[in-house]
Amino acid sequence: MKMKTTKNAAVQHSSAELSAENILCESDSRFYTGLALTQLFTLIATLAPFGSNLPYKMKVADQIFAVLVRLRLGLTYEDLARRLNMSAQLVSDIYNSWLDIMAEHLSNCVVWLPRETIQRTMPSSFKESFPQTTCIIDCTEVFIQRPYKLKPRAQTWSTYKNNNTAKFLVAIAPNGFIMFVSKLYGGRASDVFITKNSGFLDYLLPGDEVMADRGFTVSEELCFRRVRLNIPAFMKGRDQLSEEEVVDTRRIASNRIHVERAIMRLKSYKILNGKMSNKAFKKGNKTILVISALCNLRDQLIREDNEI
């Protein structure tokens, strides 16, 4: 009898751990959701009205919190089901319902900033070397389950990762704000192909400057739009770069690293670190968008003292 009581107590305690009302300190909030405490409860209060008609008995705040925990910690439905003392299917239904709601209502958190805002919030490192920079771009990949059909299987095969992957483009402002994320492409797609076909180029205006790695050989497309591309210099069969090219390459590398830091922040949401199932891949674009929005709600990525 005593063992039964202990077991029930353990179940209740497990459920309480995933209740929004039990998140009382900053460290817990950041661990479970990546957000500061005030950011978490502001987000819950903002989203809650959109879930008032959902058919779930669970508190709306706890539904939202459970979704954030899954995104942040990458917990499976079965794991969450045991913590919440409900079926895995119900957890899946709640998650998918709220992912749709979040993708719709958080999309305004991933926007292309006006030039004035980009200039006003530009870190000193950019002002000194590349004051006209509009954005920094890079592509990243996430592992996916091998598709059943042969054509998608071939399209998602990444030679670089030696696995089936989905790939997307990220563009950040110099201050680290995520301004654009593309839809997911098969891992076989090149950086250049995604850049040309994702709709990213349509956001650029004459006089803008884009910073990227060597692989983004899109200077012709940008030149047509009167946009400058800043990438590290190529050797082009030479034994060494000129002194000026070496200096520029180092400056680009020291500033371009911030897009890699932004991608690292995206991937701190561990749901992107595992292997995305074929079913989850169908909502992969919404997952990326929601996580990008959550990253933009967090503390500023780039600070003058270079602290994260």
| pTM of the full structure | 0.88
Structural tokens at position 64: 């939202």
Domains of the chain: residue spans and CATH: 2-105 (no CATH), 110-284+292-297 (3.30.420)
The candidate with the shortest Cα–Cα distance to 143, out of 175, 199, 104, 187, is: 187
pLDDT value of position 191: 95
pLDDT value of position 9: 39
Mean pLDDT score, 157-167: 94
Query: Is residue 51 predicted with pLDDT exceeding 50?
Result: yes
CA 192/CA 218 separation, integer angstroms: 7
pLDDT value of position 200: 96
**Are the C-beta atoms of residues 218 and 205 closer than 8 Å to each other?**
no
CA 57/CA 224 separation, integer angstroms: 56
Mean pLDDT score, 208-229: 92
Q: What angle (nearest 5°) sits at the alpha carbon of residue 174, between those of residues 224 and 254?
A: 100
**Are the C-beta atoms of residues 47 and 64 closer than 8 Å to each other?**
yes
pLDDT value of position 244: 66
Higher-pLDDT residue of 47 and 219 is 47
**pLDDT range class, residue 212, cuts 50, 70, 90:** very high
Query: Is residue 215 predicted with pLDDT exceeding 80?
Result: yes
pLDDT value of position 303: 65
- Report the DSSP pairing between strands 163-172 and 178-181: antiparallel
pLDDT value of position 122: 92
pLDDT value of position 155: 94
If you search the block for the tokens 């009898």, which residue do you land on? 1
Query: Is residue 241 predicted with pLDDT exceeding 70?
Result: no
pLDDT value of position 70: 97
If you search the block for the tokens 């995206």, which residue do you land on? 266
258-281 tens-digit pLDDT: 999 999 999 999 999 999 999 999
64-96 tens-digit pLDDT: 999 999 999 999 999 999 999 999 999 999 999
Higher-pLDDT residue of 250 and 29 is 29
Higher-pLDDT residue of 4 and 37 is 37
Query: Is residue 252 predicted with pLDDT exceeding 90?
Result: no
